[in-house]
Structure 1
């Protein structure tokens, strides 16, 4: 197996580089643009397969020399590509401006020019390994997949130790090491690779250094005079910076009349940023001041429920705990599943003190679904108030499951009769987000058997944020009266309660909230307006609303968990014309569309390669026709199931980075093992592929049945959850390692080996954005269903030719 070690190392480094570059874009720019990296990787692999198919004879004759020189070339192209990415003047804000986006499209093209050579070279090394070892396809594919899986695990470990901008230099030595195992030229190849590695490391160490984009929220406070970085934490979830400067204050929505009412201003704080985006305030030494609490938007539930037992979802660095206690809570159970925030609460961080021990306070790191699991059982603990902090949903990707319809339904089941669930939503970008949250609340009440949700919901707001209060019993007249007085005293506006007179309420607004016309990019207002009040009643009643024509207001669910997904992508021309007003959180969908369009063109070009090279392709029309279907179906099916697994594992682990790495590593390593044993099925390959399709079908059925309970069990020890994730992915991944090498073994012309590799790369580019868009707009069940269909198509189109006739048909 030593002959496959260079392939193993190149595959590990390629996946490591892909992950490292994705992290680079997440920190230096925005995580949405990490989709470019996936596109560049797979385009490079696709082009390498096409190049090898068209120039096979020339390249195979020189294979030994190419294997010797490619590691050094990869070191050089990896370093130069990363260097070029660092100095690229890409401006994401100008990309969202129709008047300035053209130069930024050119800069995106420069990213491709810079990074494509590395992945083309890596793909050429891998595909050439297939062609020159056609008699051992299963072993070659096993080395490729297991190398990639180990690379994914390696980078996950490095993220605990190495800043994101230093990952690429750390990975380059693996490529230089590969040169020492490439056959008769290994000594010269190894020395050349070491020389190139030394130059590459010097270039990256002494040249311009990667930095956070000046367009990210962390940039201004980081460059404020006197600003200090008090702590820096490296984790797979991101790079965390704790900042101290005079601009950092508690990020809470306070009444404009707070000073007049005698409430203190929010105190100075430290700011905790992850990948350049602020996720929480942390207290300065001296304790957590809470004199501003009675004037905060989120204080209303404590005026409606006396001495409540509170489940606080998100501690906001400890400030929300102090607020809730100051507002009269009898006991607070604070949930903080974000690991660095939890560490700060329990042990302090960078000079910010830990939250002091208090008999009235329990701090847990479990996710909210685990905290309320089993609340309907006899004797289970119930709460008077379940309060979701305003910064909780954006503090970690998996936190979005707290605001799904199923999540709200579980919360309502954990309330005592007359208890209150308090749900925040930002209306700074689009008031329509509040309407979508209302739709999720309505769906949750339906799950709890409430036929008429309107009496169970009230909505109030400031100019920038809204709060939705939900009760498992109807709000009574006394509670509505208390609500109106409390909001009036603090100059907040009430947008909905059952029986509200919207016209009369508009005459006494404190905070104007006009409707934004998405059709003509204008803000229209005829006097004071409250666009949430105009439509909240219709949403809760299940009636069509004005905003539903422009936005997708369907409820967020566990199956379709993307909250920031209200844009209707069918109106693409309108979206592009209004791109400058789109929230950053919505841009990912447009990036996916762009990558998908590009991927479709590339996939078509790769499909047409045999027409451009009829001599190399030969006349095996049956093989050609089946290959056109078989290998794309495998690429789509594998990626669809991978993305489904990542999404479900991320929710179960409550950790996006761990979910991604564990699922990716498990699938690659166990698929590699499946490829390694694929030779045992050579006598009946079509049966093995059919068996794989059946395994995928059975696994998918089990996954759909077990998914609803996964979030409730997410309070298990992390190590046990990780083992369960790997154990769940292992059997289906083992089976999915069989079809690709078995299909390649049927391709008797080596042209098809390289072309099949190109097809796999090209349709992997298609699969990733397509699956993400399906998840966003249809749901996870559609992504998993797509995997089932693709493997079924693969089984029906298995490209058996001479080998099939030799062993007999099935």
Structure 2
């Protein structure tokens, strides 16, 4: 195959279709996090890479259908297919909007049955067989845009092999810009409306591949139609999401999207008002009016009508107020205040000043702006300070200390930053986080965290507290910890100094008067329940060995606070451990998804080659070529996901980590690909071995050297931290962009089987995106980055074999 000259319009077309594909991938993670479980953010990445890989295999198996001389025309049609499939996916939401029962039947499987603000869900551990075809159809519709985009990219790379470094750089630059552009798109028009804006980029790509003076006419007319459709949706909301994890949401009072969440406010029903988690059963005063608020699919909180000073007893008699009531006019910090319950509890208990640290600006907007008349603009009161930032990062930059630091049921089961390829990591509940809180407490300060007592996470909090205090050299860690519950809600308190007899007496007096229950007290350590057994056996490790779930302390390297399967249980195929809860299904589905994706990769990518291109598999060196490009796909995803994790705390808001890190890696990889194009033909074999070795060494510097460096720079302004992050990633990004174009030129000098290698690279990326999450959940991010480096080291084997004449 003769490589054609590369003109500017082709580069622009590659840029536009790559930008559109990446933006769709990230928007899809947001939509999946709202419609289903947050775990499906990882599935969106797999769908993207899988669609690209299948397209590449189609080119490999049926090259006659894609003649090189018609590449431009075929790419133009692919771009139109991308646009039409996005419109089709948009139509699914219109269907859900006007036929809600159909949407309910499709999505009800994902409903959490224990909390019912909307429509009742089902409690089935297995997926109903009747649901499988519907879900398969839904996933097929979501994968179609990736297939068309992947087909266009594959054909362009095959056609322009000699200039692959330059063309691949435009591909990566487009994807990098898409990481930034998607933030603005989600802020402006939300997830569903964002599909129509992404389609505009597809139309721009179609125009780039068109011929003649009127090549812009049809895309322009289509763009105008899409703009009209988008304007109509913004005005009339005919495609608005009314399903959150299977719950039908009628009568929403307000909903809005930003780059990492969807927030909705709805009327509270009578049973919710009476539920009042943590409220004393002896309380007989008035119950304030309430509005429910949900972030994505699981982050529930409540807006309260400002009750006036005389009506604050409702909050004072809650178990979450105990730490405040032990202090005289305390100054405190509330992490994740949501609708304001914790702040109201602090004010009701006599707090002198409260700082409300909220990560989500939409939540703050709901309290202070949209429903200010209802809430009394709580966060603008003179005794309340509002900070909108990520909790850990903000605290580390402060020079002040507080009497109480509180985090009541701060919900972390949401995919951070719209597809940061993570599962349920939570920076707030790690040993390092406890150190940050400890350093910002006054000498007798209290850390107060409330969670539901029936959750295993409450036990893990005690485990964290004991391990942290032991690290601090505390002789008797249990003397610093108290757990008191009110029916379902438990308040975990860790005091910087041991609880005094007077404080314990006051706690017992309040507990008796308010009908709370003691769970764990420093002066009563006998008991057969898990909490007392943990206190007795944590030091020797016997409790952790005997307990059926993993409640060992979480760390910043393995911050999966909500993930509690032991590796052996996780790897037990297609089964549910005996004491699994409803939401554990999602973790197990992710595990099974890894197996299913692996099987589909074989069936759709390898099996066709075995059946129809067996002679090509037998060609000398085919296996080594496959190994090389498989290592690049797998290694890139392992490093990318591990590096994202390293920078989330440093950059504060998770969306900044997503935008800055992905943008930096992709853009600098694009520049690296451009540099690779400058290497003279025939010298690829000399450059690749040292390049791969330096890449491996640099990746491990990022693994082991970055954490202390980032820790030292954490107090710098955000803009400077973003620039520092980009600068630190620039060398590695440049190197990551070079192996693929150089390998294409070295291992496919005649262009034959190039589509096959490109497809294998994408297929292993599919596995890598899920495998990285699985490795991180069970063994930590350090091992994830180490595995990425080792995979790139393995890619040396085919190159060295070629140099020795073995290929």
Q: TM-score, normalised by structure 1?
A: 0.85
Q: Does 1:68 align with 2:98?
A: no
Cα drift, residue 111 of structure 1:
2.1
Cα drift, residue 572 of structure 1:
5.5
- Checking the alignment, whether the CA contact within 8 Å between 2:627 and 2:798 is kept in structure 1 is yes
- Checking the alignment, whether the CA contact within 8 Å between 2:335 and 2:410 is kept in structure 1 is no
- Checking the alignment, whether the CA contact within 8 Å between 2:435 and 2:468 is kept in structure 1 is yes
Q: Which residue of 1 aligns with 2:5?
A: none
Cα drift, residue 651 of structure 1:
2.5
CA distance in 2, matches of 1:741, 1:647: 27
| Bigger shift: residues 142-151 or 208-217 | 208-217
Q: Which residue of 2 aligns with 1:427?
A: 453
Q: Which residue of 2 aligns with 1:391?
A: 410
- Checking the alignment, whether the CA contact within 8 Å between 2:538 and 2:544 is kept in structure 1 is no
Matches for 1:553-592 after TM superposition, within 5 Å = 553-568=551-566, 570-571=568-569, 578=576, 586-592=584-590
Q: Does 1:19 align with 2:41?
A: no
1:219-263, CA deviations, whole angstroms, 9 ceiling, x for partnerless residues?
4xx53xxx562x44331022223344565759853344332xx5x
Matches for 1:305-320 after TM superposition, within 5 Å = 305-320=327-342
For the residue of structure 2 that corresponds to 1:239, the secondary structure is strand
- Checking the alignment, whether the CA contact within 8 Å between 1:425 and 1:437 is kept in structure 2 is no
CA distance in 2, matches of 1:565, 1:749: 49
Cα drift, residue 584 of structure 1:
6.2
1:90-138, CA deviations, whole angstroms, 9 ceiling, x for partnerless residues?
4324896146622222222112332333222211110110111111110
CA distance in 2, matches of 1:679, 1:100: 49
Matches for 1:40-189 after TM superposition, within 5 Å = 40-61=47-68, 62-84=70-92, 89-93=106-110, 97-98=124-125, 101-182=128-209, 185=211
Q: Does 1:448 align with 2:472?
A: yes
* Runs of 5+ consecutive residues of structure 1 not aligned to the other structure: 504-529
For the residue of structure 2 that corresponds to 1:402, the secondary structure is coil
Q: Which residue of 2 aligns with 1:511?
A: none
Q: Does 1:732 align with 2:758?
A: no
2:658 aligned residue (657, 660, 674)? 660
Cα drift, residue 81 of structure 1:
4.1
- Checking the alignment, whether the CA contact within 8 Å between 1:314 and 1:334 is kept in structure 2 is yes
Matches for 1:223-242 after TM superposition, within 5 Å = 223=250, 229=253, 231-242=254-265
CA distance in 2, matches of 1:469, 1:494: 12
For the residue of structure 1 that corresponds to 2:313, the secondary structure is coil
For the residue of structure 2 that corresponds to 1:474, the secondary structure is coil
Q: Does 1:773 align with 2:774?
A: yes
- Checking the alignment, whether the CA contact within 8 Å between 2:38 and 2:413 is kept in structure 1 is no
Q: Which residue of 1 aligns with 2:642?
A: 644
1:486 aligned residue (510, 526, 536)? 510
- Checking the alignment, whether the CA contact within 8 Å between 2:28 and 2:41 is kept in structure 1 is yes
- Checking the alignment, whether the CA contact within 8 Å between 2:570 and 2:591 is kept in structure 1 is no
CA distance in 2, matches of 1:356, 1:765: 44
Q: Does 1:459 align with 2:483?
A: yes
Per the alignment, do residues 187 and 104 of structure 1 end up closer, same or farther by CA in structure 2, a change over 3 Å counting?
farther
For the residue of structure 2 that corresponds to 1:751, the secondary structure is coil
CA distance in 2, matches of 1:215, 1:614: 43
Per the alignment, do residues 724 and 99 of structure 1 end up closer, same or farther by CA in structure 2, a change over 3 Å counting?
closer
Q: Does 1:9 align with 2:36?
A: no
CA distance in 2, matches of 1:239, 1:548: 40
For the residue of structure 2 that corresponds to 1:101, the secondary structure is coil
Q: Which residue of 2 aligns with 1:280?
A: 301
CA distance in 2, matches of 1:462, 1:703: 44
Q: Which residue of 2 aligns with 1:365?
A: 388
Per the alignment, do residues 749 and 350 of structure 1 end up closer, same or farther by CA in structure 2, a change over 3 Å counting?
farther
CA distance in 1, matches of 2:665, 2:612: 35
Q: Does 1:544 align with 2:552?
A: no
Q: Does 1:258 align with 2:299?
A: no
For the residue of structure 2 that corresponds to 1:281, the secondary structure is strand
Q: Which residue of 2 aligns with 1:514?
A: none
Cα drift, residue 778 of structure 1:
0.9
Q: Does 1:792 align with 2:800?
A: no
* Number of equivalent positions: 761
Cα drift, residue 638 of structure 1:
1.0
CA distance in 2, matches of 1:360, 1:34: 39
| Bigger shift: residues 59-68 or 282-291 | 282-291
Q: Which residue of 2 aligns with 1:324?
A: 346
CA distance in 1, matches of 2:571, 2:628: 35
Q: Does 1:292 align with 2:311?
A: no
CA distance in 2, matches of 1:374, 1:141: 40
1:19-39, CA deviations, whole angstroms, 9 ceiling, x for partnerless residues?
222222222333322333222
1:147-200, CA deviations, whole angstroms, 9 ceiling, x for partnerless residues?
1222222222111100211111222122222222225x3567655556776788
| Bigger shift: residues 415-424 or 84-93 | 84-93
Q: Which residue of 1 aligns with 2:116?
A: none
Cα drift, residue 571 of structure 1:
3.0
CA distance in 2, matches of 1:710, 1:252: 42
Cα drift, residue 763 of structure 1:
0.5
For the residue of structure 2 that corresponds to 1:254, the secondary structure is coil
Per the alignment, do residues 732 and 602 of structure 1 end up closer, same or farther by CA in structure 2, a change over 3 Å counting?
same
| Bigger shift: residues 117-126 or 53-62 | 53-62
CA distance in 2, matches of 1:666, 1:610: 36
Cα drift, residue 789 of structure 1:
0.9
- Checking the alignment, whether the CA contact within 8 Å between 1:559 and 1:781 is kept in structure 2 is yes
CA distance in 2, matches of 1:143, 1:540: 54
CA distance in 1, matches of 2:276, 2:710: 33
Q: Which residue of 1 aligns with 2:631?
A: 633
CA distance in 2, matches of 1:126, 1:38: 17
Cα drift, residue 73 of structure 1:
2.3
- Checking the alignment, whether the CA contact within 8 Å between 2:48 and 2:146 is kept in structure 1 is yes
1:704-745, CA deviations, whole angstroms, 9 ceiling, x for partnerless residues?
333256468656443333323322322211110000000000
Q: Does 1:742 align with 2:750?
A: no
Cα drift, residue 302 of structure 1:
3.2
Q: Does 1:764 align with 2:790?
A: no
Per the alignment, do residues 7 and 30 of structure 1 end up closer, same or farther by CA in structure 2, a change over 3 Å counting?
same
- Checking the alignment, whether the CA contact within 8 Å between 2:30 and 2:260 is kept in structure 1 is no
Q: TM-score, normalised by structure 2?
A: 0.85
For the residue of structure 2 that corresponds to 1:559, the secondary structure is coil
Cα drift, residue 423 of structure 1:
2.0
For the residue of structure 1 that corresponds to 2:187, the secondary structure is coil
| Bigger shift: residues 605-614 or 626-635 | 605-614
Q: Which residue of 2 aligns with 1:341?
A: 363
Per the alignment, do residues 468 and 670 of structure 1 end up closer, same or farther by CA in structure 2, a change over 3 Å counting?
same
Per the alignment, do residues 235 and 106 of structure 1 end up closer, same or farther by CA in structure 2, a change over 3 Å counting?
same
1:276-324, CA deviations, whole angstroms, 9 ceiling, x for partnerless residues?
5454333436757522233111122234333433233333444423321
1:611-669, CA deviations, whole angstroms, 9 ceiling, x for partnerless residues?
445577386523x2321221111111111111122223332233233322322222222
Cα drift, residue 764 of structure 1:
0.8
Q: Which residue of 2 aligns with 1:403?
A: 429
Q: Which residue of 2 aligns with 1:526?
A: none
For the residue of structure 2 that corresponds to 1:386, the secondary structure is strand
CA distance in 2, matches of 1:210, 1:331: 40
CA distance in 2, matches of 1:36, 1:395: 14
Cα drift, residue 396 of structure 1:
8.9
CA distance in 1, matches of 2:44, 2:740: 24
Per the alignment, do residues 614 and 407 of structure 1 end up closer, same or farther by CA in structure 2, a change over 3 Å counting?
same
- Checking the alignment, whether the CA contact within 8 Å between 1:427 and 1:434 is kept in structure 2 is yes
Cα drift, residue 610 of structure 1:
5.0
CA distance in 2, matches of 1:270, 1:717: 36
Q: Which residue of 1 aligns with 2:41?
A: 34
CA distance in 2, matches of 1:313, 1:28: 27
Q: Which residue of 2 aligns with 1:751?
A: 752
Per the alignment, do residues 251 and 444 of structure 1 end up closer, same or farther by CA in structure 2, a change over 3 Å counting?
farther
